[in-house]
Structure 1
């Protein structure tokens, strides 16, 4: 993809890793909704491109032709004829970037061409590596085959870090992977994707999940890509007012109990205010909203 092409659209962040490393769980967490039907959990799918909007889903064949597709029957898309499936969600993060959920790189029943032909669309990568077998030789080999200009636009996530119960073992793992991937990613970040959503009433547990650290680095990455020339959804440069970004699925609980609300006047009806979380590089900038639970695991 040429620089002109990349400057004509929002940044596209590819979600990559081996099969069952958590890519689609991450996608659902990021956008705070369930874009992929539960019934395709174990189904092989071509790349799924997620953009902002409410248009019907469609698939794009290898020649660029578009065909309508039922969102509940994505498995009908023929792998050998489909470049990608396009779906739309009305979530704020998708105003700032598109997500590209790639198939697992290690799936023996799927040719690597299925995802290789789409990698040129990616401006950055979130690479998921299962913590219990992190940064396998097969992952390192695939990453080494990708364009080097992705290295400083990508984050390595050690997913399911909660499966390693010993803090000593966790730190040993993180040191090893960071040493082996030095210079290959912007950051190597441990995270428990399930804890990030399941423990939203306990700030200490949520913080320990790695969600806040990941959110900060992702926001920084998107800002950097936007400043490099990406444009907003209406073709205008992304305004400074768009910062800080809100990432609906990464919901930070309050670090301290909120004071009790003042009693409403007896003549007035009770007022119910929605809570939302506004994530930014500043740890003090939190205001929360609870969106849906993550959809299909991968």
Structure 2
């Protein structure tokens, strides 16, 4: 979460608390308080990163490197034909999702045939620090990838560097929402199977062929899959570090864009609420009511012109 987004959420929460005080009890502001609460909840949602690619493109390995981990529950590893959504949790947890149910399962179960339950997706909670800033979906190679893309904010497409960027890949990516064009990364895996000169040629070709579809192209090596987790190793390879840095940039840009939208909605809610307030009557004998009305007007007026850029961001 960027400083701007955090500041916007804090401002919304502070306004909601102030509007709940008796000094602002001059009109029915329940709609305003509810709208601010829901807006803050929506802004807290972390972006969803989806990892896609064709068969043997190294999707799961890339997903592991993105969260700096190589530890997934056995029940998940054995069912890679089902979408897996990873999110942050204080301890390991696994749940399977059906069309009308969510069932927690034993993360240590070595063999669990999820097809018996008509499972549509698996949710995995992991105590991995990087997952505090995004959710990650590891997708199967087949199925309705467009539907999964519609639910996501950032796309990581994996392609095998030895046969990178086939026509079928291009057609699939072209089906995805156009908003991905600025929030996507093409990852060419198995780069260690190529010479340095071949890697340069592949990178140049991919940059030219996909410039209108991806914000950047990164090459990674399959050999990195055998490394211990990055926290244990103490450092990332230059390739993995570049991939993680690009993802961090896209997440930061997403958060700032969300903050701008949040500010616009905040101003709209405040302006609508101002219309429900009674006018301040300077001739009224009820000074308490006038005072409450002035405070409510002042608070909503500030919100109606709110922008985090007008405030100092630490």
**What SS does structure 2 have at the residue aligned with 1:118?**
helix
> What's 2:87 paired with?
51
**What SS does structure 2 have at the residue aligned with 1:14?**
strand
> What's 1:263 paired with?
none
- Whether 1:34 and 2:70 are equivalent positions in the alignment is yes
Which of 226, 229, 246 is the matching residue for 2:258? 229
> Does the 8 A contact of 1:16 with 1:23 survive in 2?
yes
**What SS does structure 1 have at the residue aligned with 2:258?**
coil
Which of 194, 206, 216 is the matching residue for 2:237? 206
> What's 1:185 paired with?
214
Q: Give the 5 Å matches for 1:99-138.
A: 99-105=136-142, 112-113=143-144, 115-138=145-168
1:234-279 CA distance string (max 9 Å, x none)? xxxxxxxxxxxxxxxxxxxxxxxxxxxxxxxxxxxxxxxxxxxxxx
> What's 2:120 paired with?
83
1:164-194 CA distance string (max 9 Å, x none)? 12x2222111111111101101101111253
Alignment: residue pair count: 216
CA RMSD of aligned residues (A): 3.1
Inter-partner Cα distance in structure 1 for 2:120 and 2:78 = 20
> Does the 8 A contact of 2:88 with 2:127 survive in 1?
yes
Inter-partner Cα distance in structure 2 for 1:88 and 1:74 = 19
Inter-partner Cα distance in structure 1 for 2:116 and 2:258 = 33
Inter-partner Cα distance in structure 2 for 1:79 and 1:127 = 30
Shift in alpha-carbon separation, 1:45–1:13, aligned structure 2, 3 A:
same
- Whether 1:16 and 2:52 are equivalent positions in the alignment is yes
> Does the 8 A contact of 2:74 with 2:110 survive in 1?
no
> Does the 8 A contact of 1:157 with 1:189 survive in 2?
yes
Q: TM-score, normalised by structure 1?
A: 0.64
**What SS does structure 2 have at the residue aligned with 1:99?**
strand
Inter-partner Cα distance in structure 1 for 2:47 and 2:64 = 18
- Shift in Å, 1:8: 5.5
Bigger share in helix: 2
Structure 1: runs of 5+ lacking an equivalent? 106-111, 231-298
1:7-56 CA distance string (max 9 Å, x none)? 46110000110122111112222223334245765644310000000263
Inter-partner Cα distance in structure 1 for 2:127 and 2:234 = 28
Inter-partner Cα distance in structure 1 for 2:92 and 2:140 = 23
Which of 125, 132, 135 is the matching residue for 1:98? 135
- Shift in Å, 1:213: 2.0
